[in-house]
Amino acid sequence: MALAACSKPADRMEIKQLRTIDAAFRQVPEAMSSSERFGFSTSSPASPRRQSKSVSLSWKVPEGWEPLPTGGMRAASFRIGTGAECVVSLLPGTGGGLEANINRWRHQMGLEPLSSEAIAALPKIHVLGVASPYVEMSGTFTGMSGTPQPDWALLGTICLLPESSIFVKLTGPADEVLSQREAFQTFCQSLQQ
C-alpha cells in the first residue's frame, strides 16, 4: 500500500464510472461561449442550477459616472473621467476568498501581499449591511491586457453575503481615482438587494 501511495500517478486512465440517467434529469442549455459560461456576457439563459442563487442589485449612480454595458458576472460598470472604470461583480460563494482577492488586487498593483492580520485590520464600509473591508492602493497597475500602467490607483471593497460575494473595484489614473474616493464609498453604501 505504501508503495502504491508513492508511485507516480498514471498519465492514462480508463473511465470506470458510468451512470445511466433519465434524460429528464439533465436539462442542458444550448451551447454557450466561455464568456457566457463564466458570466462575462448573458446572451444565453443560465442553467437553473446556477441561476437559483443569484442576487439582484440596485444602486444610486454618482454624478459624472457613465454607465457601461454589463452582463453576467458584471452587475454594473461605469466609465469615470477619461480613463477610470468602476466594476461591480457578483460571484457565487466567496469568489475565491477575501484574503486571496485583496492580495490578487495588490499583485495587480505591484504591491506585496498583506497578512491575514493586516487584512482583518483594514477599514470597513457597510455594504448591504455587511461591514466590508475597504482598500486603497497606488502603484503600477497590470491588468489582463498585460500592459503596465504606472501611477494608477485602485479603490475596492468586497462584500461577503451568505451565498454570494460582491466585488466593487475602481481603477484608473491615480489622480482621477483618488478624487472619487467619497463618491466610491457613497456608491458602495447605496447598493441594495
Residue 162 Cβ vs another protein, minimum distance, rounded to whole Å: 6
Q: Is 21 in the site for another protein (CB under 8 A)?
A: yes
CB 156 within 8 A of CB 168: yes
Listed ranges 62-70, 141-149, 151-159, 180-188: which one lies at the site for another protein (CB under 8 A): 141-149
Q: How far apart are CA 74 and CA 56, in angstroms?
A: 12
Task: Name which of 135, 130, 116 is nearest 163 in CA terms.
Answer: 130
- Dist. CA 133–CA 94, nearest whole Å: 14
- Compute the distance between CA of residue 74 and CA of residue 86 in angstroms, rounded to an integer: 10
Single out the segment in contact with another protein by CB under 8 A; choices: 4-12, 79-87, 169-177, 183-191. 4-12
User: Is residue 190 part of the contact set for another protein (CB under 8 A)?
Assistant: no
| Interacting residue with another protein among 33, 43, 58, 140 (CB under 8 A) | 33
Q: Does 112 bind another protein (CB under 8 A)?
A: no
**Residue with smaller CB distance to another protein, 12 or 82:** 12
* Stretch of 58-66, 88-96, 133-141, 171-179 contacting another protein, by CB under 8 A: 88-96
> What residues have CB less than 8 Å from 116, skipping those under 6 apart?
99
